[in-house]
Amino acid sequence: MPTKLNQIIAVEKGVKAKAFADLTQAHQDVQKAALLTGIARTYQPRDEEGEMFPPESTRVQVHAEEVLRATAASLTRLFDVTATKDWANCQARADVKVDGRTVVADVPVSYLLFLEKQLVDVHTFVKKLPVLDAAEAWSRDESTDSWRTEPVKTNRTKKVYRNHVKAEATEKHPAQVEVYTEDVTIGHWTTVKFSGALPARRVNELLERVEKLQQAVKFAREEANGTEVSDQRIGDAVFGFLFSRNT
């Protein structure tokens, strides 16, 4: 049964983790002199009546050549899986289609991954675009390339002091006068608001387009990742050169 690119991608992480763990363990083992060292010794008294001691021995626990072979075997699997993925990535392509329309044709899977990540940022950007105040009625003003409201008139007033005679003057008392202010209209303002923001409808349309393209890119990536791959055997060549014995 042919292998698919998505299957290789699925196992790559586990293979990489195992290879790293094996290499770390191998590195630690060959740094421990005690594991690489062995000894064998026997005791012989000077005469027959001398005290005897049992022989002593310590076995070599780590052989560097064996570590090299095991390391090569572990890393060969990683090298082969990664090579198979990278070789396949050069061939895996798909069209990005939205509503039956091909937006971008024959896109490599690596670029589809790039698109997918970038569109997340584009979506965030579009979602934060400024929207026209819904409390106002806006119309397009081509002369300023912006949006405008209808003119609204408001009065300009001025406070004027007035006198109110509460009691007329008499021979014995002066007049009782109360001073008050009155707002008198002296003119009016005509206000037109302008905005460079976007109608909510426009922002929603843009969001819908971004989301459709995001979905299309994901579908294209899945299609590209379904490409059949040819297993690559790179590890044997690499470690055959690196760790081979000349003798």
Distances (CA, A) of 52 to 41, 43, 47, 57: 13, 7, 10, 16
Per DSSP (E only), the strands in the chain are 3-4, 39-41, 56-58, 93-98, 101-108, 138-141, 146-149, 152-167, 176-191, 194-195, 228-229
Q: What pLDDT is attached to residue 22?
A: 93
- What are the tokens at 99? 């509503």
Q: Which two tokens stand for residue 64?
A: 């560097």
For residues 70 and 18, give the distance between their C-alpha atoms in angstroms, rounded to a whole number.
12
234 three-state secondary structure: coil
Output the six-digit token pair for 106.
Answer: 């024959």
> Which phi and psi (to 5°) does residue 5 adopt?
-60, -40
**pTM for this one?**
0.67
Average pLDDT of adjacent 10-residue blocks, the chain of 247 residues = 84 93 91 88 85 88 89 93 90 94 93 95 96 94 93 90 78 80 89 94 96 96 89 90 79
From the list 130, 60, 105, 135, the residue with the least C-alpha distance to 224 is 105
Give the count of alpha carbons within 13 A of 227, CB side only: 21
Q: What's the pLDDT at 229?
A: 87
CB distance 80 to 237 below 8 Å: no
